[in-house]
Structures are given as structure tokens and as C-alpha cells.
Amino acid sequence: MSSLNRVSFLALALAATALPSAVLAQPYDAGADNQGQPGTEIAPVEVRGQRAPVYNANATTSATHTDTALIDTPQAISVVTRDQIDDLALQSMADVVRYVPGVGYAQGEGNRDALVFRGNTSTADYFTDGLRDDTQYYRDLYNIDRVEILRGPNAMAFGRGGLGGLLNRVTRQAGWGHENELHLEAGSDDHFRGTIDYSLELSPSAALRIVGLYQDSGSYRDGVTYERFGINPTATFRTSTGTLIELGYEHFEDRRIADRGVPANPGGTRANPAAPLEGYQSVFFGDPALSPTDTDVDAFSAHVMHEFGNGLTLRNRTRVADYDKFYQNVFPGAVNGAGTLVSISAYNNATQRTNLLSQTDLIYETRLGGVEHTLLAGFEFGHQDTENLRQTGYFGGVATQITAPVTNPTINLPITFTPSATDASNDGQAQVMALYVQDQIELTEQLQLLIGLRYDTFEVDFLNRRTGARLSTTDDLWSPRLGLVFKPQDNLAFYASYSRSFLPRSGEQLTSLTAANSAFEPEQFDNYEVGTKWDVSPILSLTAALFQLDRTNVVVPDPANPGQSILVDGQRSRGLELGATGRINAQWTIIGAYTWLEAEITANQSATVLAGNRLANTAEHSFSVWTRYDLTPRFGAGAGVIYEGERFANADNTQVMPAYTRIDGALYYGLNDSIDLQLNVENLFDEDYFASAHTNNNITPGAPRSFRVGLTARF
């Protein structure tokens, strides 16, 4: 689809969505939140030279679709605020989860986000303003107000997927009282990044905002570069009849080199796993010049909310997005037994996806049967068109694999990319229609009950263009949720919860449907969780969660008849998550996380993935803490410690990434009331470590010591 046609199509879809809502507007309630974002309230802060950072949030709408305090939500949730993003100079989803318990990250083949939620790696469980944003690409934070990380299955609120958790980015919206801001940043490896946030208040009932990004950076990895561009204008209207309308459009581009890291030493076994190759921190295995990744995203969004009064609210969110993603990589395979040669392969993949998603909620707060209820009834419609084409790289027009010396693995050879007999060439349409109901019941002043049920009908029509085969499946998914909260006092809560989610056989990217697996029931994930939340003060929160997450309906070859497949109970994750977020006093801010996680295979799934193996990219113990202390009203310092235990690169457990500890630091200086200077140093003591993996031979070395200097001007 051409750029002009894409924009025209999206503009037409947005107009069709927004116009009826504006026509049906009703009386306006002056007490409504000026951004239409219930749950964004944060603890008040004292302005003292530099504004004191706010790391904690009090409430969110995402987990329940209603404005619910975090302490009243029976689920482990972390909110990364804008102040956290700015103080730590976060720029990626992997950065975001470093101080979040229960969540890690995988390599994602150097071309996409791949977070690991309670042991489950996902490239699709990402949402923007509560609506699915599931194409495989690297997301940015330039236009984000906060990031919400929900752990455990979340199908009642979000639909399919969300198996171990999900990440929801809440975007900045036009409103009133915002400061304008220009941020410039430069640092190691030719890093440059600039963002602008500009607001215009047209009247008490109309506001505009535009957020923009440009980044051009190198890397500690040879030949790897990053370039990003984004622009996100939004408009907010408060009608005299009481309806709030928020409209937005984003164009985002990401250009980078797909870097799949280094291979492991040869000879690794389950009993004696090998470690990654040492001494190749900056060396590119393959050809960086022939490993480009290009992503273009165009998305329109509309949020319409009306409060009728007497506790009744109607809300609709609609998102229409077009994604154009291409990546190509020339990457390493296994090292030979002598440790002298490494295999090199290549392929590329193009994906085009268009999403039309709409979610409507009716919320009614009332008193029935002598108790308080927050009733929710909702409807969701989604349509996704996906085309993808993979092509294999042929060296010299013939060979699909060559070898290169381990001592000189960066190659520069002609490669021809054409489809092989087994390369994917698919065209698929997925459609979901869902109904859900939920009740949050205040049984007593101390006891609250949450009960919900969602029904999805999920249809996939799939064409394998390579073979001409057509497949169609329909799944009827029932997703229950049950939670109980006991509050012996207002700032202390104990909770217990159960939730369920499903993954249809088409997979999280809607490209995995085959004749062999289409007849089987979807994979099922069940989460049992107990926890506690303690708001020590209005600005400091402590959390703890114990959980068990079971994955069932996993398709594996039948040991008695390898030509057939059977369903088994595939894996179990059990763990403890501890978190601390907020300010100890006016000068001292802290984030802390600890995770103990046993995530293992529970049934043999292949000749190498055996019962008892640990899941990939999952440490048994991980710990992180960040603290900032403002020594004077204008000068502050921050320090962070990140510890990751050893992690296996793959579920066969034959290659392992050693444990590591990394120290980060930062300095903050308020030049005056309008200009701040900031220095962030990553890996202060230049620790050698391995950050993440995709497979046994695609392991990413951690970055050496690096710095970024930032200037922020408010006007």
C-alpha cells in the first residue's frame, strides 16, 4: 500500500469512527479528568528547584477497564512513569523492564521487541492505550506518558494472548496545563537523539499537542546503526454537552541493522552446557551491510467518553494501524567442534499488517443489594489482515550456508535472496468479536470481590500461497477471572486471584496455522496468584506476589507414533515477585525489584526439549534497584544495580549465559527553573556480560561502559 493510499485509508476510517460519536455528544461534566485518562493521578509533589521525580502511580484503567486503584486490583502490576523514563534515559522496552519484577527480555533476532513474562517469551503482547499493537518491531517511548506492565494472563481485559503478562503503552494526549519541552541528547557511539513536546490550548474546550522524535546513533557493535523518526499530533475536545473526544495520529519509522550477536562455544550438552564465545563484544558475525531492518507504522486513534451522570459512563477506543516491516539478516550458526569455523546463513522477511480494532465499554457504579458495585459490560471488534513473505539467502546463487573463520567472522559476499521450497508465503485474515462482563463488588469496607467473564469468537482464514492450501479455523474462547481483596486498613491489601488465557493455533503472529495443528484446541494458560500491596505513604508502595502459571494443550509428537501429534501439559512457572516504588522522603527516590522464578518444561516436547529443562532467557534469581538522591534543590545523583542469574539461551539447556552484575549511574543539575542537564552512565565498571539470546548461537553481548548527556528545556 503506498504512503498516500495508506494515509487516505486511515483518515477515512478515523472520520467514520469519530463523526458519529461527536454527533451523539451529551452534557459535559466539569469534574471529568482533563485528559480522559482515569487512573493517571499521582501523588502531589513539592516543587523545589528541580521538580521532585514521581516514580509511583496510584491507579490505572487497563487491568479492569475501570478507574481502579492499584491497591484494589488483585493482580501484580508495575507502572513505569514518565519521570522514571526520563531519569533513567529509557528508550526501549528492554530498558523499561530492567526494574520490573517477573519480566525479562530476549534478543528478538535483532529486529523486534521480545519480552519474557514469567518465563513466556512474547513478540505480540504489546498494547497502545489498551488496544492491540502486535506487529513485530521495536517500539519507542518518545510519545509515552507511562508504561503499564501487567503480569499473569489477562484475557478477560485484553483478549487472546497475554500469556504470562503484557505491556501497555499509554500515550501523551493533548490537554491543558502541559509544559512545552525540548530534549537533546548525545553520547557514546555517535549517539544523538532529540524530542519535542509542544502543546497549544486553543480554548477551554479544545487543545492540540504534537510530540516528535529524531534519533541517529551508532553502536558498540561493529557496523550496527539506528535511525528513528516519529511524529504524533493529538487533539482533545470537550464539548458543551459533556463528551470528551481525543484524536491522534502517529507516523513512526525505525531503521537499524539486525544484529544477532555471537554463537556459543562448541560441545555444549544438557549435563555440561557451553558458554558464549568470549572476546567478541563488538564483532559482527555475518554481514551488517546486508542486514537492514525497516519499519513504518501509521496509526490513527480515537477515544470518546461520555459521563451520563448517576455513575453511568460510556467509552469507546478505536485504533486503525498500518504496519510495513522488512528485515534481512546474515547471521551466525554453530561453531565447529574444533572451534575454528562458524556457519553463516541468511534470509529476509517482509510483513504487512493492517489492524482495525474497536472497544466499547459501558460502566455503571451503583449500590445494589446493600453493597457497592462497579459493573462493566463491553464489546470488542477486531479485524487484522496480514501478508508475509520469507526468502532464503543463497551464497554464490547456490549454497544456503557457508563457513567463516571464527577469528574473522564478518563477511562481505554476494547473496541472492529468493523463496525456497519451504519459505513462508502467507496471506491471513483474523477476526475477533468479544463480549465481556465484570463486577467489582465492595462486600464490606475491608472485602472486595472482582468477577469477570469474556467470550471471544476468533476466526482465521489462512492462505499458504506457496502450496495454494487454504485453512479456516474458529475458536470459541471463554476467559474467566476471579479476584478477592482483603484490606485490613486503607493502605494495606492482601489479594488472591485466578485468570485464564488462550493462544490459538495460528500463533501470536497469526502465521503458524498448518493442517497438522489446526484441528487442536488452543493452548491454555492458567494463573493462580496471591499477593500483598502496601502503600507505606502516598508516595511509596511495596508489593509482593506468589504465583503459579500452567501451560497446557501443547502439541508434541506422540512418542508411541512419531507421525502423529498429541496434547500435553507443557510448562509451569512458579515464583515470587517483590517490588518497591516511590519516594522515601522529599529528596530520596527508589525503585527496587526481586524475582525468584522456577520456569520449567513439564513434559518432553522433542528429542532435546525435555521435562525438567528450564525455559529460555529466564534466571532463577534476579534483582535490581535504582535510587536517586537530591543533594540540593538543584543537584542530584542516581545509581542502579542490576543482577541477573544464569540463563539458558534455549529450552534445550545446552548453552548458558553466565550471571552478571551491572552498575549504572546518573547526575542531575537544574541550571535554572527551565533548563536541566543530565548525565547517564551505563555499565559504570565496564562489566563483560551477555544480555540476552534468541537461540543457542544468537547471543547478544552486553554494552560496555557508555554515557549520554542530555539537556531538557521547558518553555
Q: Of 576, 617, 694, 637, which Cα lies nearest the Cα of 76? A: 576
Position 563 scores a pLDDT of 77
Q: Is the pLDDT of residue 24 over 50?
A: no
Q: What is the pLDDT of residue 51?
A: 67
pLDDT of residue 348 exceeding 60: yes
**pLDDT tens per residue across span 58-96:** 999 999 999 999 999 999 999 999 999 999 999 999 999
**pLDDT surpasses 70 at 677:** yes
Look-up: residue for cell 493529538? Answer: 234
Task: List, for residues 587-599, the tens digit of each pLDDT value.
Answer: 999 999 999 999 9
> What value does the mean pLDDT take over residues 319-331?
98
CA–CA separation, 475 and 432 (whole Å):
10
Assigned C-alpha cell, 487: 484490606
For residue 16, pLDDT over 70 is answered with: no
The pLDDT score that the predictor gives to residue 39 is: 42
| Range 698-708 average pLDDT | 98
Residue 292 has pLDDT above 70, yes or no: yes
**pLDDT in the model for residue 50:** 59
Q: In the chain, pLDDT over 90 holds for what percent of residues?
A: 88
| DSSP E strand stretches across 468-553 | 469-489, 492-503, 523-537, 540-552
- The predicted-structure confidence for 45-63, as pLDDT tens digits, reads as follows 443 445 679 999 999 999 9
Closest CA relative to residue 427, chosen from 482, 322, 351: 351
For residues 684-694, average pLDDT: 97
By the 8 A CB rule, do 684 and 637 touch? no
Give me the chain's average pLDDT, please: 92
In the predicted model, is pLDDT for residue 1 greater than 80? no
pLDDT average, residue stretch 192-206: 97
Residue type, 710: G
Beta-bridge partners for 208: 200, 235
Q: How far apart are the first and last CA of the chain?
A: 40
Which burial class, exposed, middle or buried, applies to 269 when counting CB atoms under 10 A from its CB (0-12, 13-18, 19+)? exposed
pLDDT at 565: 86
How many Å apart are CA 620 and CA 600, to the nearest integer?
10
Contact 328, 296 (CB under 8 A): no
Confidence of residue 129 (pLDDT cuts 50, 70, 90): very high
Read off the pLDDT of residues 135-165 as tens digits, 9 standing for 90 and up: 999 999 999 999 999 999 999 999 999 899 9
Whether the predicted pLDDT of 508 surpasses 50: yes
**650 pairs with which residues across the strands?**
none
| pLDDT score of 6 more than 60 | no
- Is 122's pLDDT higher than 90? yes
DSSP annotation string for 574-643 = EEEEEEEEEESSSSEEEEEEEEEEEEEE-S--SSSS-TTPBPTT--SEEEEEEEEEESSSSEEEEEEEEE
* pLDDT exceeds cutoff 70 at 21: no
pLDDT band, very low/low/confident/very high, at 360 (cuts 50, 70, 90): very high
Say which CATH superfamily domain 3-677+685-714 falls into.
TonB-dependent receptor, beta-barrel domain (2.40.170.20)
Q: What is the pTM of this model?
A: 0.92
- Which run of H or E residues covers position 4? helix 3-23
* Alpha-carbon distances, residue 327 vs 136, 250, 296, 669 (angstroms): 10, 22, 12, 41
Q: Tell me, what's the pLDDT at 2?
A: 42
pLDDT tens digits, one per residue of 370-425: 999 999 999 999 999 999 999 999 999 899 999 999 999 999 999 999 999 999 99
Are 638 and 87 in contact by the 8 Å Cβ rule? The answer is yes
Residue 22's pLDDT band (cuts 50, 70, 90)? very low
Q: Given this model, what pLDDT does residue 519 score?
A: 87
In this structure, what C-alpha cell is assigned to residue 123? 513478540
Q: Does residue 251 sit in helix, strand or coil?
A: strand
> Do residues 603 and 631 make contact, with C-beta atoms less than 8 angstroms apart?
no
Band of residue 17 on the pLDDT scale cut at 50, 70, 90 = very low
